[in-house]
Amino acid sequence: MLHKVLERVRSFEREAHSILSRHEAAPSRVVLLDQSYKRLSGLSIVQDELFREALCCVENELFRAAHVMAWAGFMDYLENKVAQQGFAKLQQYRPNWKLKSVEDLREQVPEYQLIEAFSDIGFVTKNEKKALLGLLNKRNECAHPSNYSPGLNETLGFISELLQRIEMLKQKTI
């Protein structure tokens, strides 16, 4: 008996979220995050955790924090991608960078310079570089005091774009 009641409650909840998710301002719209959670497969444990924390921030309407956490997951992907290939090609274009590990990269190279270097070595195109620098700028606005206050739509778009860029970059070699 209790089992049937619980199933009916869950069914009602799913239906209510389905109806309310169509309205932009409704908190039920967060149910649509299921699609974003599904896109996390194939990431490392650390990247998965960072993106999950970003989505948890969205669920709790902490949109600036969600930008910061999602960017951290994205950068972890980029840094590990370059580390997997070794730093040889990167250091051909940046001989002053003395890199032996991902930690060296994180400590010594600002994210802006790393994105610029990825363009120089041909890992990203000029247009992709501009897009990544724009995403970095949004993250910076969220991580530091500013008038920028993203909402649900901007935040979901930001996270979605980062995940899409990871999917595209998976196809490339350094």
Provide the residue type at 78 as one letter. Answer: L
CATH 1.20.120 at 32-169, yes or no: yes
* H helical segments located in 29-125: 33-38, 45-59, 63-84, 88-93, 102-108, 111-120
Provide the pLDDT for residue 30: 47
Task: Supply the pTM of this predicted model.
Answer: 0.81
**Per-residue pLDDT tens over the stretch 5-45:** 778 878 877 776 666 555 545 555 544 566 777 777 788 99
Whether pLDDT at 126 is above 60: yes
Provide the pLDDT for residue 158: 97
**Per-residue pLDDT tens over the stretch 149-162:** 999 989 999 999 99
Distance separating alpha carbons of residues 19 and 113, to the nearest angstrom: 45
Q: What are phi and psi of 41, to 5 degrees?
A: -65, 145
What band does 71 get if pLDDT is binned at 50, 70 and 90?
Answer: very high
What residues does each domain of the chain span?
A: 32-169
